[in-house]
Chains A and B, each alone.
Chain A
Amino acid sequence: MSGAAKFKNKVKISERHGGGEWLAERVLLTALLPLGLWVASTGFTLAGAAYDAVLDWFAKPLNAVLLSVTAVLLFGYLSLAWKVILEDYVPQIGARKALTGLVNLVFFVLAAASLFFIVRLALGSAPLPAGIGA
C-alpha cells in the first residue's frame, strides 16, 4: 500500500497480485448470476407486499441467509468493479486513492446496514429504534 512500486525479480508486485483480483471478480460474478435470478423472483414475490407478508418471508432462514450472502458478494464485487473503473478514468494517483477509499467506505456502510436490517428482520426484532439507546 506504500507509494513506491515494489519489485520482485524485476517484476512489479502489482503485476503479480492483479491476477488474484481478476479471479476474485470472475468468481464473485459467477456466484452472483444465479443469486441475481433469485433476487428477480424475490422482487416479484415481495413487490407491493404487505408488512406481515414481508416479515414472514424474512422469517424463513434460507431467505435471510441467501439475501445476506447476496448483499456481501454484491457489495464486494461492486467495490472491485469501482476500483477498475477508477483506475481507468482517474489518472491522478491521489484523487484515485481517495475516491477508491470513499467508494469502499460507502459500500462497507451499505453492506453493514443491509446485514443489520436483515438480521433484525430475520429474528423478528421489535421495530427500530427499539433496542438502540431506548
Chain B
Amino acid sequence: MTQPNPTPGVASGDRTGRFVRQPNGHVTPLSPHMGIWRWHVTMAASILFRATLIAASVGLVFVVAWLGALAFGPETYETALALAGSPLGLFVGFGLTVILFSFILNGARHTINDTGNGLTIKSATALSNIAVWAPVPLAILFWVVLFAVGRVSL
C-alpha cells in the first residue's frame, strides 16, 4: 500500500507532521483514512451481512432445486436426497444453515440498529459479536442434534 509522502512543517504551527501538499497545490492535513483506522467488529458484522445475502442468493438455488425435485416425483426426490446425503451435499447443507442463522442474527442486529437502538459502542459491539460469531456454533448444534436423533446419517 503506497502512502502519500507527507511534508512535515509546511503549514505554520503544524505539530502533527500530517500536512501534505495536495496535487492541486493546496496544503491540507492528510485525511484520516488508511493509516489511522482501527479494526472493529461492527465493520465485520456490516460486511458479513452483505456476504450472507450474496451467499443466500446462491444457496437458494439449492432450495428451489429441492422443491423442484419434490415436484418431479419420488424418484427425482430420492436422487436429490442421495446427493444431499453425500459429503459434498452435507457440506452444502451445513453452509445453508450457517447462512440462515447468520441472516437471522445479523438481520436482527441490522433491524435493532435501524430503529435507533443498540447504538452505544458497548451494545453495538455486543450485537455485532453475536451476529459474527454465533451462526457457526448454532449451525454445528443444529447438525449435531440432527445426527444425534438419527434424522441424518452418513
Which A residues form the contact surface with B (CB < 8 A)?
26, 29-30, 32-33, 36-37, 39-40, 43-44, 47-49, 51, 54-55, 58, 74-75, 78, 81-82, 85, 107, 110, 113-114, 116-118, 120-121, 125, 127-129
Q: 1/0 per position for B55-79, CB-CB distance to A under 8 A?
A: 0110011001001101111101110
Given contacts A29-B110, A40-B104, A117-B68, contact A128 B146 (CB under 8 A): no
Interface pair A51/B110, CB less than 8 Å apart: no
Expressed in whole angstroms, the Cα–Cα distance for A36 and B85 within the complex equals: 23
Interface pair A127/B72, CB less than 8 Å apart: yes
Interface pair A47/B100, CB less than 8 Å apart: no
Interface pair A40/B101, CB less than 8 Å apart: yes
Q: Identify 29 residue pairs between A and B in the complex whose beta-carbon atoms are under 8 Å apart, listed by A's number.
A: A26-B111, A30-B111, A33-B104, A33-B108, A40-B142, A47-B146, A48-B151, A48-B152, A51-B74, A51-B77, A51-B78, A74-B56, A75-B60, A78-B53, A78-B56, A81-B53, A85-B54, A107-B57, A110-B60, A110-B64, A113-B64, A114-B67, A117-B71, A118-B67, A121-B71, A125-B71, A127-B71, A127-B72, A128-B71
